[in-house]
Structure 1
Amino acid sequence: MSCPDCFSGSVKDGKPRGEVVKLHGLDSYVTVPADGRTPKAIIVIIPDAFGWDFVNNRLLADHYADRGDYKVYLPEFMCGKAAPEWMIDAMRGLINGNVLAKPFYLARAMTGFVPFIMTNRIGKSHPRVKEFFEELRKAEGADAKIAAAGFCWGGKHVLLMSHNVTVDVNGKAAPLIDVGFTGHPSFMEVPADVADTMTVPVAFAIGELDSGLPANKVAEIKKIVEAKPAPVTGEVVVYKGAGHGFCVRADSTLNDVTKQALAAEEQCINWFNKHFGF
């Protein structure tokens, strides 16, 4: 399930420096290392509910490019129906505002939520995501290094692609992704999403206070993925005091949460580097 925290958080200051191109049928934000270094591999970000043009997601793509020397793609998977940025203010009013104003904020939030969920519920959106990765793998080749980083809504898609999902590339069955990372995934089914059919190693960054992933579920995820044999062994890191959405929408006025968001960035890059042998 999605929750109010899926649409809450903070908008970052900054100007993304990548470019927008058409990639495998989708508009995509593309960024590479700022200092001109040759990218070592590809990361595809599957974003949270706020989508590909949300400034936080584009800045995160820039950070991954610079910190890990990756080419980073952030595609438009949501058919123009991402949650609008103003929903952050609407949710803030709904959660913290005056009681008499709450019906207004609820109505406003629903005008953003309903189009998002109607277009982007997992069963309807995953074929779009999967098709992009199939075309990417065919274009880049069976031996290309491709990683996926999914957040909130996007985390579920990473998990679905980790379950022995392949595409034919010149007669060779190639995985859609080689390695995955998910920050505070939504819509998770435990244990099904981390079952024995996982053939791709996935790391998790989870906030201790994530209402969608209570401690008993996190412990179950950790027990399953960290017990898998190499090279499918996973990783679960729980960030103390952090809530849902901290990887992308951390409140910059709260120093500890900002540090945890940066630590999750480092976890992701280190995880990909480890599995690609960098």
Structure 2
Amino acid sequence: MHTDRGSLAFGVPAAAPGTLHTLSISGSISAGPVEGRRIVFGRNWDEVDLCIGGHDQGVSRTQGTVSCRAGRWWLTNSGRRPLRMPGSRMLFTDEEPIPLAAGYLPLFVRGSGSQEHLLELYVSDGESDRTTRGPAAPTTPPRTYRLSATERLALVVLAQRYLLQEPYPQPISRDQAAEQLHMLQPDGEWTERKVERLARHVRDRLSAAGTPGLMREEVGEPVGNMLNHNLIRELIDSTTLVPPDLRLIDIIDE
């Protein structure tokens, strides 16, 4: 289990508007919006510009392309598996290309078994080049929260469906989380109560810092999964948790 948390979700260096940044476990490519420019990604190191799932035959040798046309970047799926994006969006084989909006976009490709492969995309809007105040000033980055290594591991387990961009995600149950954490850390003495206690401590800390929706009296009865759902949404929206954190729990490839 290891991740250096390198992720485009934290932002990109100042670049001209329309610059595309790409990142996978195998490397990164940045390209300006030059007409006809193409970045091909997939399993075959020798045929693509950016490799994902290099040792997983569940991923197509050429899984997809990002190409520049009329000043915009367009995403195409040319592989056998769909590309999964935020908001339950799936891009299927030979479906019409979709344009990429400015900002961050994580893509997942399902490989063999339960293995997932992540490709991160980010299209610059050029605002990071600006030094003026007012409407053209740089966007203020979100406030992130400090988590201990143990807290991060447990919360990634609870939040895995969200980080995988699954449709209508919910936190996994405490017993499922404890079982998975025990497999990852056999000496961690993980139990359902320990998982809930840890999540509650983080909720209390964030609530004290002004984050709403993390206390039982705020959401009303029945509470269900709402408190942990709101916690996970806050951690993801603030980029405290990002898709590459799934490497901590061996869901996406190293």
TM-score of the alignment, normalized to the shorter chain, above 0.5:
no
**Class of the TM-score when normalised by the shorter of the 2 chains:** under 0.3
Q: TM-score, normalised by structure 1?
A: 0.24
Larger radius of gyration: 2
Answer 1 or 2: which has greater helix percent.
1
Q: TM-score, normalised by structure 2?
A: 0.25
